[in-house]
Amino acid sequence: MRNLLSMEHLTTTEIAQLIRKASEFKSGARPFPQYNDQFVANLFFENSTRTKSSFLVAEQKLGLNLFDFETSTSSVQKGESLYDTCKTLESIGVNLLVIRHSENAYYDKLDNIQISIINGGDGSGQHPTQSLLDIMTIHEEFKRFEGLKVLICGDIKNSRVARSNYHSLTALGAEVMFSSPQEWQDDSIGAPYVDMDEVIDQVDIVMLLRVQHERHGSEEVDHFEAGHYHQDFGLTPERYQRLQESAIIMHPAPVNRGIEIADELVEAPKSRIFKQMENGMFLRMAVIDTILENRKG
């Protein structure tokens, strides 16, 4: 693996290897390798807290040299293309790029870039490291994927998390279902849509998705009613009480409290939302290490 662009590009064996390495980093069973002679640049063209911060910490723990790149002060503001930006960084010796971009599959235009790329999220397309950290969290909890029932609720159409997790969890043997308002459904993904209340007591994992107003039209935003959405598609205390004893709650964050999930449930006993964030840093360490290790070979 020399790049990580999409979950569809990973085999189940590669997924298992990444999860194992991340778990070993987390437990202390595997020492942190050091890449003091390697440079990494984080190109975030969309706002981010968790993804960017955990990549930064992961890179520092691996001894990487962080190349200071800010889109707001770069030649991007003068109209420079993403390709030319990446080619410039390649030319001056950067070894690895972590990119988040608003354009779906932006990486398709970067075929001639010779340095490694990790996709930190592309529009409403893919978010592979988020999917991998979700898989790691699920594996910690259940030690298996075969036969698990996963309900993903919310803004499916605009969610890169929904796409990545559907493809990866289905490949690993889980049964993935969606629940969403009609206007936010995307039949091209392939998952069945269900009534949340009809399955809430049968699923092992409930994954809530953020309502992505920044990708909605102004009329859609104006007509959105948070209270109605929460009652129809959010995790309310009543739905929480119906969950199986062993079920867990997940959310890629940032969380809109009281919309996707009731405020008091964000840190409820079944919630693994902050555990996901913890695992994200170790998982991103595993991805970076694997890519740089393979480039040396």
Helix ranges restricted to H, the chain: 12-27, 50-61, 82-91, 128-142, 160-171, 196-199, 218-223, 226-233, 237-242, 273-296
CB 249 within 8 A of CB 267: no
> Is 272 marked as binding a ligand?
no
> Is 210 marked as binding a ligand?
yes
The 10 Å Cβ neighbour count of residue 12 is 12
- Specify the pLDDT at position 212: 66
- Specify the pLDDT at position 65: 97
Residue 224 CA to residue 233 CA, distance in Å, equals 13
First to last CA, the chain: 11
- Specify the pLDDT at position 246: 97
- Specify the pLDDT at position 25: 98
Tokens of 201: 């007591």
Residue 80 CA to residue 112 CA, distance in Å, equals 17
> Is 12 marked as binding a ligand?
no
> Is 236 marked as binding a ligand?
no
> Is 254 marked as binding a ligand?
yes
- Specify the pLDDT at position 160: 81
Closest CA to 82 of 93, 69, 65, 95: 69
> Is 160 marked as binding a ligand?
yes
> Is 284 marked as binding a ligand?
no
- Specify the pLDDT at position 235: 96
Query: pTM for this one?
Result: 0.91
How does DSSP classify residue 33? P
- Specify the pLDDT at position 146: 96
- Specify the pLDDT at position 8: 87
pLDDT by residue for the chain (297 residues), tens only, comes to 899 999 988 999 999 999 999 999 999 999 999 999 999 999 998 888 889 999 999 999 999 999 878 777 677 777 889 999 999 999 999 999 999 998 999 999 999 999 999 999 898 778 899 999 999 999 999 999 999 999 999 989 888 888 889 989 999 999 999 999 998 898 888 899 999 999 999 999 999 998 865 555 565 655 568 788 899 999 999 999 999 999 999 999 889 999 999 999 999 999 999 999 999 999 999 999 999 998 876
Ordered domains of the chain (ranges, CATH)? 7-126+277-296 (3.40.50.1370), 128-273 (3.40.50.1370)
Scanning the structure block, which residue is given the tokens 């480039």? 295
